[in-house]
Structure 1
Amino acid sequence: MLLVAALCRESKAQISPPGLGIAHMADWFALGIRQKLKRRKGWQSMSYIGMGRKSNPDNYNPALKPAILVLNHEFTHAVNTHYQYAFALSYRRQDEYLDRAPYKHQRPGTQQEIRAYGRLYYFLPLRRIKLAAVLRQELRKFYTPAFHNPEESLQLRSRLRLQMTVPLNKQKTHRLITGAEALFATSQLTGHAGFTPFAYEESRFTCYYSWTLKKLPFTLDVGYMSNLLGKTASHVVHYLAFDIIWENPFR
Protein backbone atom coordinates (compact mmCIF):
# COMPACT_ATOMS: atom_id res chain seq x y z
CA MET A 1 0.00 0.00 0.00
CA LEU A 2 2.37 2.94 -1.19
CA LEU A 3 0.97 6.55 -1.88
CA VAL A 4 -1.70 8.78 -0.33
CA ALA A 5 -2.98 12.00 -1.83
CA ALA A 6 -4.50 14.59 0.48
CA LEU A 7 -7.34 16.34 -1.28
CA CYS A 8 -8.78 18.84 1.19
CA ARG A 9 -9.21 16.74 4.36
CA GLU A 10 -10.04 13.49 2.58
CA SER A 11 -7.51 10.76 1.88
CA LYS A 12 -7.33 9.43 -1.66
CA ALA A 13 -5.04 6.45 -2.17
CA GLN A 14 -4.50 3.80 -4.77
CA ILE A 15 -4.18 0.17 -3.71
CA SER A 16 -0.47 -0.43 -4.09
CA PRO A 17 0.99 -3.87 -4.88
CA PRO A 18 2.55 -5.98 -2.12
CA GLY A 19 6.06 -7.36 -2.46
CA LEU A 20 6.02 -10.70 -4.27
CA GLY A 21 9.60 -11.84 -3.76
CA ILE A 22 12.04 -12.90 -6.47
CA ALA A 23 10.77 -12.38 -10.04
CA HIS A 24 11.46 -10.22 -13.08
CA MET A 25 7.98 -8.84 -13.75
CA ALA A 26 4.74 -8.88 -11.75
CA ASP A 27 1.18 -7.61 -12.05
CA TRP A 28 -1.38 -6.55 -9.45
CA PHE A 29 -5.14 -5.96 -9.67
CA ALA A 30 -7.45 -4.89 -6.84
CA LEU A 31 -11.09 -3.95 -6.26
CA GLY A 32 -11.92 -1.71 -3.31
CA ILE A 33 -14.74 0.11 -1.54
CA ARG A 34 -14.03 3.42 0.19
CA GLN A 35 -16.74 4.82 2.44
CA LYS A 36 -17.00 8.04 4.45
CA LEU A 37 -18.45 7.39 7.89
CA LYS A 38 -20.97 10.19 8.20
CA ARG A 39 -21.61 9.67 11.91
CA ARG A 40 -17.87 9.79 12.63
CA LYS A 41 -16.49 13.09 11.40
CA GLY A 42 -13.15 12.71 9.63
CA TRP A 43 -13.37 8.90 9.50
CA GLN A 44 -13.52 6.64 6.49
CA SER A 45 -13.15 2.92 5.82
CA MET A 46 -11.44 1.13 2.97
CA SER A 47 -11.91 -2.55 2.09
CA TYR A 48 -10.35 -4.35 -0.85
CA ILE A 49 -9.53 -7.68 -2.41
CA GLY A 50 -6.41 -7.93 -4.53
CA MET A 51 -4.60 -10.57 -6.58
CA GLY A 52 -1.08 -10.66 -7.93
CA ARG A 53 0.82 -12.80 -10.42
CA LYS A 54 4.49 -12.84 -11.41
CA SER A 55 7.08 -14.16 -13.83
CA ASN A 56 10.06 -16.37 -13.24
CA PRO A 57 13.34 -14.49 -12.72
CA ASP A 58 14.43 -15.45 -16.25
CA ASN A 59 11.40 -14.27 -18.30
CA TYR A 60 9.12 -11.25 -18.82
CA ASN A 61 5.62 -12.72 -18.47
CA PRO A 62 4.03 -10.93 -15.46
CA ALA A 63 1.01 -13.26 -15.46
CA LEU A 64 2.94 -16.53 -15.66
CA LYS A 65 2.04 -17.92 -12.23
CA PRO A 66 -0.10 -17.04 -9.19
CA ALA A 67 1.62 -15.06 -6.45
CA ILE A 68 -0.77 -13.67 -3.81
CA LEU A 69 -4.35 -13.15 -2.64
CA VAL A 70 -5.03 -10.24 -0.23
CA LEU A 71 -8.08 -9.29 1.85
CA ASN A 72 -7.65 -5.96 3.65
CA HIS A 73 -9.79 -3.64 5.78
CA GLU A 74 -8.61 -0.26 7.05
CA PHE A 75 -10.01 2.68 9.03
CA THR A 76 -8.56 6.18 8.55
CA HIS A 77 -9.08 9.32 10.63
CA ALA A 78 -8.11 12.83 9.49
CA VAL A 79 -7.23 14.82 12.62
CA ASN A 80 -6.63 18.06 10.68
CA THR A 81 -5.15 19.18 7.36
CA HIS A 82 -1.67 18.01 8.40
CA TYR A 83 -2.13 14.86 10.48
CA GLN A 84 -3.93 11.60 9.81
CA TYR A 85 -3.70 8.08 11.19
CA ALA A 86 -4.96 4.65 10.16
CA PHE A 87 -5.17 1.10 11.48
CA ALA A 88 -5.96 -2.10 9.61
CA LEU A 89 -6.18 -5.89 9.59
CA SER A 90 -5.19 -8.00 6.60
CA TYR A 91 -5.18 -11.65 5.50
CA ARG A 92 -2.76 -12.81 2.78
CA ARG A 93 -2.14 -16.12 1.07
CA GLN A 94 1.11 -16.11 -0.89
CA ASP A 95 2.61 -18.71 -3.22
CA GLU A 96 6.19 -19.72 -2.38
CA TYR A 97 8.60 -20.73 -5.16
CA LEU A 98 12.17 -22.03 -5.29
CA ASP A 99 14.84 -19.47 -6.24
CA ARG A 100 16.46 -21.78 -8.79
CA ALA A 101 15.24 -23.10 -12.17
CA PRO A 102 12.68 -24.35 -12.98
CA TYR A 103 11.29 -22.22 -10.09
CA LYS A 104 8.67 -24.71 -8.91
CA HIS A 105 6.60 -24.43 -5.74
CA GLN A 106 8.35 -24.95 -2.43
CA ARG A 107 7.04 -27.48 0.07
CA PRO A 108 4.61 -26.32 1.33
CA GLY A 109 3.75 -24.25 -1.71
CA THR A 110 1.87 -21.45 0.05
CA GLN A 111 2.22 -19.34 3.17
CA GLN A 112 -0.57 -17.63 5.08
CA GLU A 113 -0.18 -14.30 6.83
CA ILE A 114 -2.30 -12.33 9.26
CA ARG A 115 -1.13 -8.73 9.43
CA ALA A 116 -2.05 -5.83 11.71
CA TYR A 117 -0.66 -2.39 11.00
CA GLY A 118 -0.96 1.27 11.84
CA ARG A 119 0.04 4.37 9.87
CA LEU A 120 0.78 7.97 10.78
CA TYR A 121 0.66 10.63 8.05
CA TYR A 122 2.03 14.15 7.96
CA PHE A 123 0.87 16.24 4.98
CA LEU A 124 2.61 19.38 3.76
CA PRO A 125 0.65 21.31 1.08
CA LEU A 126 2.75 23.49 -1.23
CA ARG A 127 0.28 25.44 -3.33
CA ARG A 128 -1.36 22.73 -5.46
CA ILE A 129 1.25 20.04 -4.76
CA LYS A 130 0.83 17.79 -1.72
CA LEU A 131 3.87 16.32 0.03
CA ALA A 132 3.55 13.65 2.70
CA ALA A 133 5.66 11.57 5.06
CA VAL A 134 4.15 8.26 6.20
CA LEU A 135 5.34 5.97 8.99
CA ARG A 136 3.83 2.48 8.97
CA GLN A 137 4.35 -0.16 11.70
CA GLU A 138 3.40 -3.76 10.98
CA LEU A 139 3.00 -6.95 12.98
CA ARG A 140 3.09 -9.98 10.66
CA LYS A 141 2.23 -13.54 11.80
CA PHE A 142 2.98 -16.35 9.34
CA TYR A 143 1.44 -19.81 9.04
CA THR A 144 1.77 -22.86 6.83
CA PRO A 145 -1.40 -24.00 4.94
CA ALA A 146 -2.22 -26.18 7.98
CA PHE A 147 -1.71 -23.22 10.37
CA HIS A 148 1.61 -24.47 11.75
CA ASN A 149 4.59 -22.18 12.28
CA PRO A 150 6.98 -21.86 9.32
CA GLU A 151 10.70 -21.08 9.70
CA GLU A 152 9.93 -17.35 10.06
CA SER A 153 6.94 -17.25 12.39
CA LEU A 154 6.70 -13.57 13.34
CA GLN A 155 7.98 -10.28 11.95
CA LEU A 156 7.96 -6.67 13.12
CA ARG A 157 8.40 -4.29 10.18
CA SER A 158 8.77 -0.51 9.87
CA ARG A 159 8.13 1.37 6.64
CA LEU A 160 9.02 5.00 5.94
CA ARG A 161 7.49 6.57 2.84
CA LEU A 162 7.85 9.96 1.18
CA GLN A 163 5.29 10.88 -1.47
CA MET A 164 4.11 13.66 -3.75
CA THR A 165 0.73 14.24 -5.38
CA VAL A 166 0.36 16.61 -8.32
CA PRO A 167 -3.17 17.51 -9.57
CA LEU A 168 -3.33 17.60 -13.35
CA ASN A 169 -6.52 19.68 -13.61
CA LYS A 170 -8.36 22.29 -11.54
CA GLN A 171 -11.00 19.83 -10.34
CA LYS A 172 -8.22 17.50 -9.05
CA THR A 173 -9.90 14.53 -10.71
CA HIS A 174 -6.68 13.69 -12.55
CA ARG A 175 -3.58 13.22 -10.41
CA LEU A 176 0.01 12.08 -10.70
CA ILE A 177 1.28 10.34 -7.55
CA THR A 178 4.91 9.40 -6.96
CA GLY A 179 6.71 8.03 -3.92
CA ALA A 180 9.65 6.23 -2.38
CA GLU A 181 9.59 3.81 0.55
CA ALA A 182 12.23 2.00 2.61
CA LEU A 183 11.43 -1.12 4.66
CA PHE A 184 13.19 -2.37 7.82
CA ALA A 185 12.38 -5.53 9.78
CA THR A 186 13.25 -7.92 12.59
CA SER A 187 12.00 -11.52 12.70
CA GLN A 188 11.44 -14.33 15.15
CA LEU A 189 12.48 -17.77 13.86
CA THR A 190 10.74 -20.96 14.97
CA GLY A 191 12.78 -22.71 17.64
CA HIS A 192 14.94 -19.66 18.38
CA ALA A 193 14.66 -17.25 21.29
CA GLY A 194 14.51 -13.53 20.62
CA PHE A 195 14.53 -11.67 17.32
CA THR A 196 17.02 -11.20 14.51
CA PRO A 197 18.79 -7.79 14.26
CA PHE A 198 16.61 -4.94 13.02
CA ALA A 199 17.85 -4.26 9.48
CA TYR A 200 17.05 -2.77 6.09
CA GLU A 201 15.21 -5.13 3.70
CA GLU A 202 14.12 -3.39 0.50
CA SER A 203 13.00 -0.18 -1.24
CA ARG A 204 9.97 0.55 -3.40
CA PHE A 205 9.57 3.37 -5.92
CA THR A 206 6.19 4.11 -7.47
CA CYS A 207 4.52 6.31 -10.07
CA TYR A 208 0.72 6.30 -10.45
CA TYR A 209 -1.89 8.05 -12.58
CA SER A 210 -5.21 8.40 -10.73
CA TRP A 211 -8.54 9.39 -12.29
CA THR A 212 -11.74 10.05 -10.33
CA LEU A 213 -14.73 9.83 -12.66
CA LYS A 214 -17.15 12.76 -12.65
CA LYS A 215 -20.44 11.00 -13.38
CA LEU A 216 -19.71 7.64 -11.80
CA PRO A 217 -18.59 6.94 -8.19
CA PHE A 218 -15.30 5.28 -9.14
CA THR A 219 -11.60 6.06 -8.98
CA LEU A 220 -9.26 4.30 -11.42
CA ASP A 221 -5.53 3.96 -10.74
CA VAL A 222 -2.83 2.64 -13.02
CA GLY A 223 0.84 2.61 -12.10
CA TYR A 224 4.31 1.16 -11.97
CA MET A 225 6.46 0.03 -9.04
CA SER A 226 10.16 -0.79 -8.94
CA ASN A 227 11.02 -3.09 -6.02
CA LEU A 228 14.73 -3.17 -5.06
CA LEU A 229 15.46 -6.24 -2.94
CA GLY A 230 18.43 -6.64 -0.61
CA LYS A 231 20.94 -4.27 0.93
CA THR A 232 22.79 -3.83 -2.36
CA ALA A 233 19.63 -3.84 -4.54
CA SER A 234 20.91 -7.11 -5.99
CA HIS A 235 17.51 -7.91 -7.51
CA VAL A 236 14.90 -5.59 -9.06
CA VAL A 237 11.27 -6.56 -9.72
CA HIS A 238 9.07 -4.47 -12.06
CA TYR A 239 5.35 -4.25 -11.24
CA LEU A 240 2.38 -3.18 -13.36
CA ALA A 241 -0.63 -2.28 -11.20
CA PHE A 242 -4.29 -1.40 -11.72
CA ASP A 243 -7.11 -0.90 -9.24
CA ILE A 244 -10.73 0.26 -9.16
CA ILE A 245 -12.20 1.91 -6.06
CA TRP A 246 -15.95 2.35 -5.55
CA GLU A 247 -16.46 5.64 -3.72
CA ASN A 248 -19.15 5.92 -1.01
CA PRO A 249 -21.61 3.27 -2.22
CA PHE A 250 -23.59 3.47 1.06
CA ARG A 251 -24.69 7.10 1.07
Structure 2
Amino acid sequence: MMFCIKKVLATLFLIGFTGNILRAQISPPGLGDTKTALWTAFGIKRQLDSLGKKQALSYIAIGRKSNPDDYNALSKQAIFVLNHEVYHSFAPHQQYSYAVSYRRQPQYEGSTPYEKENTEQEFRIYGRYAYTFDLGKKWKLKNTVRQEFRKFFAADFSKVEEDFQLRTRIKSQLTYTVSPKNNQKLAVSAEALFSLSHLNGPDTQWESFGYREMRITAYYMFDIPHSPFTVDIGYMNNLIKDSRSIHRGGVHYVAVDLIWNIPFSR
Protein backbone atom coordinates (compact mmCIF):
# COMPACT_ATOMS: atom_id res chain seq x y z
CA MET A 1 0.00 0.00 0.00
CA MET A 2 2.75 2.44 0.97
CA PHE A 3 4.65 1.53 -2.21
CA CYS A 4 1.57 2.35 -4.34
CA ILE A 5 1.11 5.72 -2.63
CA LYS A 6 4.77 6.58 -3.19
CA LYS A 7 4.51 5.57 -6.83
CA VAL A 8 1.43 7.77 -7.39
CA LEU A 9 3.08 10.74 -5.67
CA ALA A 10 6.24 10.27 -7.70
CA THR A 11 4.23 10.17 -10.94
CA LEU A 12 2.37 13.38 -10.09
CA PHE A 13 5.63 15.06 -9.13
CA LEU A 14 7.30 14.08 -12.39
CA ILE A 15 4.39 15.37 -14.47
CA GLY A 16 4.63 18.71 -12.74
CA PHE A 17 8.41 18.69 -12.96
CA THR A 18 8.28 17.98 -16.67
CA GLY A 19 6.04 21.00 -17.20
CA ASN A 20 8.50 23.25 -15.39
CA ILE A 21 11.68 21.96 -16.99
CA LEU A 22 10.54 21.50 -20.59
CA ARG A 23 7.74 23.95 -21.23
CA ALA A 24 8.29 24.85 -24.88
CA GLN A 25 5.58 25.36 -27.44
CA ILE A 26 5.90 23.77 -30.88
CA SER A 27 6.42 26.91 -32.92
CA PRO A 28 5.30 27.00 -36.58
CA PRO A 29 7.88 26.68 -39.36
CA GLY A 30 8.08 29.27 -42.11
CA LEU A 31 5.56 28.51 -44.85
CA GLY A 32 6.73 31.04 -47.42
CA ASP A 33 5.40 34.29 -48.83
CA THR A 34 1.66 34.14 -48.16
CA LYS A 35 -0.88 36.04 -46.02
CA THR A 36 -2.22 33.69 -43.34
CA ALA A 37 -1.43 30.19 -42.11
CA LEU A 38 -2.69 27.57 -39.65
CA TRP A 39 -0.36 25.22 -37.72
CA THR A 40 -1.50 22.24 -35.62
CA ALA A 41 0.71 19.73 -33.83
CA PHE A 42 0.39 16.72 -31.54
CA GLY A 43 3.40 15.91 -29.39
CA ILE A 44 4.50 13.29 -26.87
CA LYS A 45 6.83 14.58 -24.14
CA ARG A 46 8.66 11.96 -22.08
CA GLN A 47 10.89 12.07 -19.02
CA LEU A 48 14.04 10.05 -19.72
CA ASP A 49 15.47 9.97 -16.18
CA SER A 50 14.27 10.05 -12.59
CA LEU A 51 15.94 13.43 -11.89
CA GLY A 52 13.99 15.29 -14.55
CA LYS A 53 17.13 16.47 -16.35
CA LYS A 54 16.57 14.61 -19.61
CA GLN A 55 13.45 14.77 -21.72
CA ALA A 56 12.34 13.96 -25.26
CA LEU A 57 9.67 15.61 -27.38
CA SER A 58 8.35 13.87 -30.50
CA TYR A 59 5.62 15.42 -32.60
CA ILE A 60 3.66 15.17 -35.82
CA ALA A 61 2.24 18.33 -37.37
CA ILE A 62 0.56 19.81 -40.42
CA GLY A 63 0.29 23.33 -41.74
CA ARG A 64 -2.11 24.99 -44.15
CA LYS A 65 -1.93 28.42 -45.73
CA SER A 66 -3.82 30.93 -47.84
CA ASN A 67 -3.20 31.95 -51.42
CA PRO A 68 -1.01 35.04 -51.75
CA ASP A 69 -4.07 37.18 -52.53
CA ASP A 70 -6.61 36.02 -49.90
CA TYR A 71 -6.87 35.31 -46.17
CA ASN A 72 -8.27 31.76 -46.19
CA ALA A 73 -5.69 29.94 -44.04
CA LEU A 74 -7.28 26.57 -44.91
CA SER A 75 -6.91 27.07 -48.66
CA LYS A 76 -3.84 24.92 -49.36
CA GLN A 77 -1.82 22.15 -47.76
CA ALA A 78 1.48 23.75 -46.72
CA ILE A 79 3.64 21.25 -44.80
CA PHE A 80 3.81 17.89 -43.04
CA VAL A 81 6.38 17.49 -40.24
CA LEU A 82 7.82 14.65 -38.14
CA ASN A 83 10.24 15.83 -35.43
CA HIS A 84 12.14 14.23 -32.54
CA GLU A 85 14.23 16.23 -30.06
CA VAL A 86 16.13 15.23 -26.92
CA TYR A 87 16.83 17.80 -24.17
CA HIS A 88 19.40 17.71 -21.38
CA SER A 89 19.42 20.26 -18.52
CA PHE A 90 23.09 19.72 -17.69
CA ALA A 91 23.60 22.65 -15.28
CA PRO A 92 21.48 25.23 -13.42
CA HIS A 93 19.73 27.45 -16.00
CA GLN A 94 21.49 25.70 -18.91
CA GLN A 95 20.17 23.22 -21.43
CA TYR A 96 21.22 21.71 -24.75
CA SER A 97 19.25 19.60 -27.19
CA TYR A 98 19.66 17.79 -30.50
CA ALA A 99 17.05 16.76 -33.03
CA VAL A 100 16.21 15.11 -36.34
CA SER A 101 13.31 16.19 -38.53
CA TYR A 102 11.54 15.25 -41.76
CA ARG A 103 9.39 17.76 -43.65
CA ARG A 104 7.29 17.44 -46.80
CA GLN A 105 6.18 20.70 -48.40
CA PRO A 106 4.11 21.28 -51.58
CA GLN A 107 5.34 24.05 -53.89
CA TYR A 108 2.83 26.24 -55.74
CA GLU A 109 2.95 28.50 -58.78
CA GLY A 110 3.53 32.17 -58.08
CA SER A 111 0.56 33.42 -60.12
CA THR A 112 -3.18 32.72 -60.10
CA PRO A 113 -4.69 30.11 -59.86
CA TYR A 114 -1.63 29.05 -57.79
CA GLU A 115 -1.66 25.43 -58.87
CA LYS A 116 0.64 22.89 -57.25
CA GLU A 117 3.96 22.57 -59.12
CA ASN A 118 5.81 19.90 -57.16
CA THR A 119 6.61 18.60 -53.69
CA GLU A 120 9.86 19.25 -51.83
CA GLN A 121 11.29 17.05 -49.07
CA GLU A 122 13.60 18.25 -46.33
CA PHE A 123 15.76 16.29 -43.90
CA ARG A 124 17.03 18.37 -41.01
CA ILE A 125 19.36 17.93 -38.05
CA TYR A 126 19.98 20.63 -35.48
CA GLY A 127 21.45 21.40 -32.09
CA ARG A 128 20.33 23.99 -29.57
CA TYR A 129 21.82 25.68 -26.50
CA ALA A 130 19.67 27.70 -24.07
CA TYR A 131 20.32 29.76 -20.96
CA THR A 132 17.41 30.84 -18.72
CA PHE A 133 17.41 33.83 -16.37
CA ASP A 134 15.00 33.95 -13.41
CA LEU A 135 13.53 37.46 -13.23
CA GLY A 136 11.65 37.21 -9.96
CA LYS A 137 9.05 34.61 -9.02
CA LYS A 138 6.89 34.81 -12.14
CA TRP A 139 9.19 35.92 -14.96
CA LYS A 140 11.78 33.93 -16.93
CA LEU A 141 13.96 35.02 -19.85
CA LYS A 142 15.29 32.24 -22.08
CA ASN A 143 17.94 32.94 -24.72
CA THR A 144 18.60 30.27 -27.34
CA VAL A 145 21.08 29.66 -30.15
CA ARG A 146 20.16 26.95 -32.66
CA GLN A 147 22.29 25.66 -35.55
CA GLU A 148 20.66 23.66 -38.36
CA PHE A 149 21.73 21.61 -41.37
CA ARG A 150 18.96 21.26 -43.98
CA LYS A 151 19.11 18.95 -47.02
CA PHE A 152 16.50 19.22 -49.80
CA PHE A 153 15.11 16.76 -52.36
CA ALA A 154 12.24 16.54 -54.81
CA ALA A 155 9.46 13.99 -54.16
CA ASP A 156 11.41 11.34 -56.12
CA PHE A 157 14.69 12.27 -54.34
CA SER A 158 16.10 14.04 -57.40
CA LYS A 159 17.90 17.37 -57.04
CA VAL A 160 16.10 20.66 -56.46
CA GLU A 161 17.38 24.22 -56.89
CA GLU A 162 18.65 24.44 -53.28
CA ASP A 163 21.04 21.61 -52.42
CA PHE A 164 21.52 22.21 -48.69
CA GLN A 165 21.51 25.04 -46.18
CA LEU A 166 23.29 25.99 -42.98
CA ARG A 167 21.02 28.12 -40.80
CA THR A 168 21.57 29.90 -37.49
CA ARG A 169 18.64 30.96 -35.29
CA ILE A 170 18.89 33.31 -32.31
CA LYS A 171 15.84 33.58 -30.04
CA SER A 172 14.80 35.35 -26.84
CA GLN A 173 11.62 34.32 -25.01
CA LEU A 174 10.02 36.00 -22.01
CA THR A 175 7.61 33.81 -20.00
CA TYR A 176 5.16 34.97 -17.33
CA THR A 177 3.40 32.58 -14.94
CA VAL A 178 -0.24 33.68 -14.97
CA SER A 179 -1.38 31.20 -12.31
CA PRO A 180 -0.11 27.96 -10.77
CA LYS A 181 -3.63 26.60 -11.30
CA ASN A 182 -3.37 24.40 -14.42
CA ASN A 183 0.17 25.74 -14.90
CA GLN A 184 -0.99 28.74 -16.91
CA LYS A 185 1.72 30.75 -18.68
CA LEU A 186 2.11 33.50 -21.25
CA ALA A 187 5.19 33.63 -23.50
CA VAL A 188 6.37 36.17 -26.07
CA SER A 189 9.45 35.71 -28.22
CA ALA A 190 11.47 37.12 -31.09
CA GLU A 191 13.72 34.99 -33.29
CA ALA A 192 16.13 36.10 -36.03
CA LEU A 193 17.19 33.63 -38.75
CA PHE A 194 20.44 33.77 -40.74
CA SER A 195 21.45 31.27 -43.42
CA LEU A 196 23.98 30.18 -46.04
CA SER A 197 22.84 27.97 -48.93
CA HIS A 198 24.55 25.78 -51.51
CA LEU A 199 22.70 25.74 -54.84
CA ASN A 200 22.48 23.05 -57.51
CA GLY A 201 22.66 23.89 -61.18
CA PRO A 202 25.00 23.90 -64.16
CA ASP A 203 27.44 25.93 -62.07
CA THR A 204 27.07 25.05 -58.39
CA GLN A 205 27.42 28.07 -56.18
CA TRP A 206 27.03 29.40 -52.65
CA GLU A 207 24.63 32.12 -51.56
CA SER A 208 26.09 34.69 -49.20
CA PHE A 209 25.48 34.29 -45.46
CA GLY A 210 22.97 36.82 -44.20
CA TYR A 211 19.78 37.74 -42.36
CA ARG A 212 16.65 36.10 -43.86
CA GLU A 213 13.66 36.59 -41.55
CA MET A 214 12.25 37.45 -38.13
CA ARG A 215 9.58 35.44 -36.28
CA ILE A 216 7.62 37.07 -33.45
CA THR A 217 5.31 34.87 -31.36
CA ALA A 218 2.87 35.10 -28.46
CA TYR A 219 1.56 31.97 -26.69
CA TYR A 220 -0.87 31.06 -23.93
CA MET A 221 -0.08 27.65 -22.37
CA PHE A 222 -2.02 25.59 -19.83
CA ASP A 223 -2.52 22.04 -18.55
CA ILE A 224 -5.88 20.34 -19.06
CA PRO A 225 -7.18 19.60 -15.53
CA HIS A 226 -7.02 15.96 -14.34
CA SER A 227 -5.17 14.85 -17.46
CA PRO A 228 -1.57 14.48 -18.71
CA PHE A 229 -2.19 16.93 -21.58
CA THR A 230 -0.91 20.46 -22.19
CA VAL A 231 -2.43 22.91 -24.70
CA ASP A 232 -0.53 25.74 -26.37
CA ILE A 233 -2.45 28.41 -28.33
CA GLY A 234 -0.41 30.98 -30.18
CA TYR A 235 0.10 33.60 -32.84
CA MET A 236 3.19 34.14 -35.00
CA ASN A 237 4.12 37.03 -37.28
CA ASN A 238 6.72 36.01 -39.86
CA LEU A 239 8.65 38.92 -41.42
CA ILE A 240 10.50 37.60 -44.49
CA LYS A 241 13.22 39.78 -45.99
CA ASP A 242 12.50 41.06 -49.53
CA SER A 243 9.06 39.38 -49.67
CA ARG A 244 5.69 40.70 -50.80
CA SER A 245 4.17 39.83 -47.44
CA ILE A 246 6.53 42.08 -45.48
CA HIS A 247 4.82 45.12 -47.04
CA ARG A 248 1.51 43.87 -45.58
CA GLY A 249 2.91 43.41 -42.07
CA GLY A 250 4.23 39.87 -42.55
CA VAL A 251 2.60 36.44 -42.62
CA HIS A 252 0.06 35.85 -39.83
CA TYR A 253 -0.13 32.39 -38.22
CA VAL A 254 -2.53 30.80 -35.76
CA ALA A 255 -1.03 27.81 -33.93
CA VAL A 256 -2.52 25.10 -31.67
CA ASP A 257 -0.50 22.31 -30.03
CA LEU A 258 -1.62 19.38 -27.88
CA ILE A 259 1.15 17.68 -25.88
CA TRP A 260 0.87 14.41 -23.95
CA ASN A 261 3.20 14.38 -20.92
CA ILE A 262 4.55 10.95 -19.94
CA PRO A 263 6.53 10.64 -16.67
CA PHE A 264 9.68 8.58 -16.23
CA SER A 265 9.15 4.86 -15.80
CA ARG A 266 11.72 2.09 -15.47
Counterparts of 1:160-239 in structure 2, within 5 Å, are 160-171=170-181, 173-191=183-201, 192-231=203-242, 233-234=246-247, 236-239=250-253
Q: Structure 1 residues 8, 80: CA separation in 2 closer, same or farther (over 3 Å shift)?
A: farther
Counterparts of 1:99-110 in structure 2, within 5 Å, are 99-106=110-117, 109-110=118-119
Give the alignment's TM-score, normalised by structure 2: 0.87
Partner of 1:135: 145
Amino acid at match of 1:122: Y
125-134 vs 167-176, greater mean Cα deviation? 167-176
1:125 pairs with one of 134, 151, 157: 134
Amino acid at match of 2:81: V
Post-superposition CA distance 1:62-88 (Å, at most 9, x none): 001100000000000001231100000
8 Å CA contact 1:173, 1:213 repeated in 2: no
Amino acid at match of 1:219: T
If each structure's helix is expressed as a fraction of its own residues, which one has the higher value? 2
1:90 and 1:11 map into 2 onto residues whose CA distance is: 19
Amino acid at match of 1:248: I
Q: Structure 1 residues 8, 222: CA separation in 2 closer, same or farther (over 3 Å shift)?
A: closer
2:37 pairs with one of 26, 32, 42: 26
Q: Structure 1 residues 66, 9: CA separation in 2 closer, same or farther (over 3 Å shift)?
A: closer
8 Å CA contact 2:174, 2:187 repeated in 1: yes
31-40 vs 18-27, greater mean Cα deviation? 31-40
8 Å CA contact 1:177, 1:207 repeated in 2: yes
8 Å CA contact 1:9, 1:80 repeated in 2: no
- Which 5+ residue runs of structure 1 have no aligned equivalent? 1-5
Q: What SS does structure 1 have at the residue aligned with 2:179?
A: coil
Partner of 2:101: 90
Partner of 1:3: none
CA apart distance, 1:214: 3.5
CA apart distance, 1:9: 6.2
CA apart distance, 1:101: 1.8
201-210 vs 184-193, greater mean Cα deviation? 184-193
Root-mean-square deviation (CA, aligned residues, Å) is 1.9
- Which 5+ residue runs of structure 2 have no aligned equivalent? 1-16
Q: What SS does structure 2 have at the residue aligned with 1:16?
A: coil
Post-superposition CA distance 1:18-49 (Å, at most 9, x none): 11002111000000000001267511000000
Partner of 1:157: 167
Partner of 1:246: 260
Amino acid at match of 1:244: L
Give the alignment's TM-score, normalised by structure 1: 0.92
Post-superposition CA distance 1:140-167 (Å, at most 9, x none): 0000001011010100000000110000
Structure 1 residue 76 and structure 2 residue 87: aligned? yes
1:231 and 1:100 map into 2 onto residues whose CA distance is: 18
2:205 and 2:143 map into 1 onto residues whose CA distance is: 31
1:249 and 1:78 map into 2 onto residues whose CA distance is: 16
Q: How many residue pairs get matched?
A: 244
